[in-house]
Amino acid sequence: NKQVFDFQEGNAGMKTLLGGKGAHLAEMTRAGLPVPPGFTISTEACLSYFKADNRMSDELQSEIVAALHRLETLKGQKFGNPADPLLVSVRSGSVTSMPGMMDTILNLGLNDETVEGLAAKTNNARFAYDCYRRLLQMFGNVVLDIGGHHFEKIVHRLKQEEGVSQDQDLTPDALLRLIADFKHCIQLQAGRPFPQDVREQLTLAVEAVFQSWNNSRAKIYRKINRIPDDQGTAVNIQSMVFGNRGQDCGTGVVFTRNPSTGATELFGEYLINAQGEDVVAGTRTPQPVASLSDEMPAVFEQLVRLAKQLEQHYRDMQDIEFTVEQGRLYILQTRNGKRNAQAAVTIAANLVKEGTIAKEDALQRIEVSHLDKLLHRGIDESVATEVFAIGLPASPGAAVGQVAFDADVAMEWSQAGKKVILARPETTPEDIQGVLVSEGIITSRGGMTSHAAVVARGMGKPCVCGCETIKIDEEQRQMSVGSRLVQEGDWITIDGASGRVIIGEVPLREAEITEELSELLEWADSIRKLKVRANADNPHDASVAKQFGAEGIGLCRTEHMFFSAERLPVVQRMILADDIEERHQALEQLLPMQQADFEAMLTNMDGHPVNIRLLDPPLHEFLPKEKELRKKLDDLDRAGGDNESEKKAVLSLIRKVQALEEVNPMLGQRGCRLGIVYPEIYDMQIEAIFRAASRCIDKGTKVTLEIMVPLVGHVNELAMLRERIDTIGERILGREILERGIYQVGTMIEVPRAALTAAQIAPIADFFSFGTNDLTQMTFGYSRDDAEGKFLSHYVDQKILPHNPFQVLDTEGVGLLIEWATTSGRSIKPNLKTGICGEHGGDKDSIFFCHRTGLDYVSCSPFRLPMARIAAAQAAI
């Protein structure tokens, strides 16, 4: 099997074999773009290398030699030739993009002899020595595993001695000393000299890139991004072009559209007289790409043209790395650019309007899990704020948290349940864990394409970069701007859209739906088959839901209406009533409250179905905890005096709480079981619902009502309650109205027995709503409230379960029950309405499952509706 491919031989379709970078270098070479020539060692070669206990086969070695010969011929230079040395970069290239995670070495082929040749040939000693010291550092770091700080310390010391602040101001003599110091450092740290044999350099470098696939930061990155461990990495060997050769040289990164806002404009940064990672390393703050049009107009024009060409070619926004050598532009990499949620939406919509892609493509490209973030957070601008610093708006969204100055502290605090903002001078891939657990990120150095910015955008986290006025003092654990100080642990707010860092906790405001998003949502609505509804427990949520496109309420949990300060005492009185008389009194007080809520919901939904679930949780949830009551008793005891009657009252309350206590409340007296044992409670709710409906009908509002009985396990439960519902409905609305069919009665399918006996239940149910929270709980036999904290995370870590089944629907088990219930229910009653409510209603995979199973709708929280609409469309494409 061929393991080495010249750039001319590959194409974009060969990503699995050549890695993303190699495949695209090949594709660009074919398209005639100015790409420095080179070749790619395949991922298969990497995997064979691992299989052979990290040894390169003879075949591979000779294929590399042959490819190198071809490259030498093409360039008219020879690798290791002191007179005119060919220099190459050795670049890793995984199949899935892992920005900054893998290692690259530049200027390979330099040694003590060839460096002089390069200096003579280019008549530029400063440049040649600059290349050599970079090679020594990268080679030392990547191949010989010497910590970067060893080299940085040496550079720092030298710059002080020389009295210069920037690397590029070092004289050739100073650079020569640097080279000597670096070589010394390598000998000291690695116990071996830097290899002067260029072939040895190449072999070692290729092996190091192979091995970088298994370094810890690459592994963590793969884990977070669910990239398989067995892909391996390709290695690209490419002839060098030099951005560090003088003032007519430079290097940069450009996005064909703005990755933060999605605006159609070239966006990026570059540095004059710099090489490779200088731009992304954040050590010098780069220039915005727009100023290239002044500094190098011809290059800028060409860059604009190539950017457009690449975007058309790949039909997506591109992230392009380029280098200019003596006024000539070279493209070193292109890939589909990472972007935040807002930009993703805007770009997708614009590409459709420009005729580049179809609506379906645009919808498929939306990462629904990012939309979630897009639909939240912004700073409430009506509140006065104390701006501490302004940096680059690197990833939008606002976040509030306590500032932490390193990843370890951030992780520790987040585990303790704190909200953290990570502040770093600049981030490196080692900080990734800290970024992951933080609400947002600040850096004092680095531009819009720095590591922190790229990673934050990928994760959809707010980020402000390059706050150069902020001095971070890691030792004193504080940061300052002038005389103003922020200590570690202080609260701050950041706004990644404007770049502001603000002292204190600023209230955040929910985001609105942009024009482009509503366009995409409309396209989604025209494609999807599933209807979307919202879970809304009060009139306010119902109106939010409508704004987000709800086609009805899929679940209104009436008990949530019981918890407000003025209602809870009434509810408690109802529960604690000594006799039926007293209970009726309390219920009579509750009735108008519930009725008013229902009326408002029905009015807000204006004819769309409103599904109201009768009381579900065990009654003790509405009562104070026994512990609290005991404490109150103790307090009364301690206070002494004449409070016997008060104590008696508390004692009797304790006895009632004890009487209601259950060992397994989730499997206890709740749902329809309550309704059957205490019919007066359900009767009140049913009456409130119908009275609300009646009022709405009188006002001329269209009413589509669904009354849902929870926790049915046996058909007789539903039969009994349905009869009560129908009776009360007829009493309140009268037969004439009922004949219009304004209401339906159905059940939640959340007890496995109900799913199994769906064919018996269907004749008396107008709809099934799958309550997947309880159904998951009861099918697995996991108590949801305990499992997540106790064993579930272990299960997921140890891959006993692929996901947390309370987040991602278990299609194989729980899903089977849903399929069975749907099919057998519909075989009895073909027009049986089916839907799903619960956490799963807003999860992409679960929505795909619902689509496949042929359910009628999904219901989720209002803010997840846009996600659900797009996911439902994706499922239908």
Q: Is 714 a catalytic residue?
A: no
Question: Which of 262, 357, 259 lies closest to 877 in space, CA to CA?
Answer: 357
Rounded least distance, CB 335 to Mg ion, Å: 8
Residue of 131, 837, 850, 860 marked active site = 837
SS3 state of residue 784: helix
CA distance 391 to 468: 7
DSSP 23-54: HHHHHHHHTT-----EEEE-HHHHHHHHHTTS
CA distance 440 to 421: 5
Residue 395 interface partner, choices ligand ADP, Mg ion, none, CB cut-off 5-8 Å depending on type:
none
Residue 117 interface partner, choices Mg ion, ligand ADP, none, CB cut-off 5-8 Å depending on type:
none
By rule CB under 6 A, what count of residues binds ligand ADP?
16
Our measurement of the distance from residue 258's CA atom to the centroid of its chain's CA atoms, rounded to an integer in Å, reads 19
Residue 772 is assigned to a ligand binding site? yes
Determine the interface stretch with ligand ADP among 100-108, 124-132, 628-636, 665-673 (rule: CB under 6 A): 100-108
Residue 774 is assigned to a ligand binding site? yes
* Binding of Mg ion by 704 (CB under 5 A): no
Q: Which of 20, 36, 458, 841 binds ligand ADP (CB under 6 A)?
A: 36
* Binding of ligand ADP by 40 (CB under 6 A): no
Task: Please give the residues from 293 up to 322 whose contact with Mg ion meets the rule CB under 5 A.
Answer: 321
Question: Which of 358, 346, 252 lies closest to 307 in space, CA to CA?
Answer: 252
Choice between 338 and 373, CB closer to Mg ion = 338
Task: Please give the residues from 748 up to 767 whose contact with Mg ion meets the rule CB under 5 A.
Answer: 750
Q: Is 451 a catalytic residue?
A: yes
Choice between 324 and 575, CB closer to ligand ADP = 324
Question: Which of 401, 429, 366 lies closest to 496 in space, CA to CA?
Answer: 401
| CA dihedral angle for residue 259, residue 262, residue 264, residue 270, rounded to 10 degrees | -20
Quote the Cα angle for 447-451-456, to 5°: 95
Asked whether 850 and 834 are in contact (CB, 8 A), the reply is no
CA distance 205 to 103: 10
Q: Which of 146, 178, 240, 375 binds ligand ADP (CB under 6 A)?
A: 240
Determine the interface stretch with ligand ADP among 98-106, 535-543, 562-570, 710-718 (rule: CB under 6 A): 98-106
Specify the amino acid at residue 307.
A
Cα atoms in the 13 Å half-sphere on the side-chain side of 569: 2
Q: Which of 238, 261, 449, 685 binds ligand ADP (CB under 6 A)?
A: 238
Rounded least distance, CB 248 to ligand ADP, Å: 15
Determine the interface stretch with Mg ion among 255-263, 289-297, 331-339, 465-473 (rule: CB under 5 A): 331-339
Residue 771 interface partner, choices ligand ADP, Mg ion, none, CB cut-off 5-8 Å depending on type:
Mg ion
Residue 106 interface partner, choices Mg ion, ligand ADP, none, CB cut-off 5-8 Å depending on type:
ligand ADP
Choice between 114 and 236, CB closer to Mg ion = 236
Q: Which of 20, 250, 276, 496 binds ligand ADP (CB under 6 A)?
A: 276
* Helical H segments across 700-783, by residue range: 715-738, 752-756, 758-761, 772-780
Q: Which of 333, 427, 685, 779 binds Mg ion (CB under 5 A)?
A: 333
Compute CA distances 629 → 646, 663, 673, whole Å.
Answer: 12, 19, 27
Rounded least distance, CB 771 to Mg ion, Å: 4
* Binding of Mg ion by 268 (CB under 5 A): no
Task: Name residues whose C-beta falls within 8 Å of residue 526's C-beta, 6 or more positions apart in sequence.
Answer: none
478-481/484-487 β-pairing? antiparallel
Residue of 24, 185, 370, 451 marked active site = 451
Choice between 106 and 310, CB closer to ligand ADP = 106
Task: Please give the residues from 71 up to 90 whose contact with ligand ADP meets the rule CB under 6 A.
Answer: 89
Asked whether 671 and 616 are in contact (CB, 8 A), the reply is yes
Determine the interface stretch with ligand ADP among 238-246, 387-395, 472-480, 726-734 (rule: CB under 6 A): 238-246
Residue 771 is assigned to a ligand binding site? yes
Q: Which two tokens stand for residue 539?
A: 């009139």
700 backbone φψ class: left, alpha, beta (φ>0; ψ -120 to 50): left
Residue 114 is assigned to a ligand binding site? no
CA distance 855 to 832: 10
CA distance 489 to 413: 9
Window 330-359: contact mask with ligand ADP (x via CB under 6 A): --xx--------------------------
Q: What are phi and psi of 86, to 5 degrees?
A: -80, 130
Residue 126 is assigned to a ligand binding site? no
215 backbone φψ class: left, alpha, beta (φ>0; ψ -120 to 50): beta
Residue 495 interface partner, choices Mg ion, ligand ADP, none, CB cut-off 5-8 Å depending on type:
none
Residue 379 interface partner, choices ligand ADP, Mg ion, none, CB cut-off 5-8 Å depending on type:
none
* Binding of ligand ADP by 251 (CB under 6 A): yes
Identify the burial level of 234 via C-beta atoms within 10 angstroms of its C-beta, where 0-12 means exposed, 13-18 middle and 19 or more buried: buried
Question: Which of 605, 637, 827, 847 lies closest to 703 in space, CA to CA?
Answer: 605
Q: Which of 24, 78, 91, 531 binds ligand ADP (CB under 6 A)?
A: 91
Window 713-732: contact mask with ligand ADP (x via CB under 6 A): --------------------
Identify the H or E element spanning 118.
helix 114-122
Residue 276 interface partner, choices Mg ion, ligand ADP, none, CB cut-off 5-8 Å depending on type:
ligand ADP
* Binding of ligand ADP by 33 (CB under 6 A): no
Quote the Cα angle for 307-309-314, to 5°: 95
Strand order of the sheet with strand 478-481? 471-473, 478-481, 484-487
Window 774-803: contact mask with Mg ion (x via CB under 5 A): x-----------------------------
* Binding of ligand ADP by 323 (CB under 6 A): yes
Q: What are phi and psi of 201, to 5 degrees?
A: -55, -45
* Binding of ligand ADP by 142 (CB under 6 A): no
Rounded least distance, CB 103 to ligand ADP, Å: 8
* Binding of ligand ADP by 779 (CB under 6 A): no
Q: Which of 25, 33, 35, 106 binds ligand ADP (CB under 6 A)?
A: 106
CA distance 49 to 210: 8
Specify the amino acid at residue 316.
D
Determine the interface stretch with ligand ADP among 63-71, 182-190, 236-244, 579-587 (rule: CB under 6 A): 236-244
Rounded least distance, CB 192 to ligand ADP, Å: 25
Residue 557 is assigned to a ligand binding site? yes
Asked whether 421 and 401 are in contact (CB, 8 A), the reply is yes
Residue 706 interface partner, choices Mg ion, ligand ADP, none, CB cut-off 5-8 Å depending on type:
none
CA distance 821 to 813: 13
Determine the interface stretch with ligand ADP among 183-191, 235-243, 258-266, 522-530 (rule: CB under 6 A): 235-243
Rounded least distance, CB 238 to ligand ADP, Å: 4
Considering only CA atoms, give the Rg of the chain: 33
Asked whether 158 and 170 are in contact (CB, 8 A), the reply is yes
Rounded least distance, CB 441 to ligand ADP, Å: 20
Asked whether 504 and 493 are in contact (CB, 8 A), the reply is yes
By rule CB under 5 A, what count of residues binds Mg ion?
5
CA distance 132 to 110: 6
Rounded least distance, CB 747 to Mg ion, Å: 11
Q: Which of 19, 85, 713, 771 binds Mg ion (CB under 5 A)?
A: 771
DSSP 285: P
- Which residue ranges make up the site for Mg ion (CB under 5 A)? 321, 333, 750, 771, 774
Annotated binding-site positions: 557, 613, 750, 771-774
Mind telling me the catalytic residues? 451, 837
- Which residue ranges make up the site for ligand ADP (CB under 6 A)? 36, 89, 91, 100, 104, 106, 238, 240-241, 251, 276-277, 321, 323, 332-333
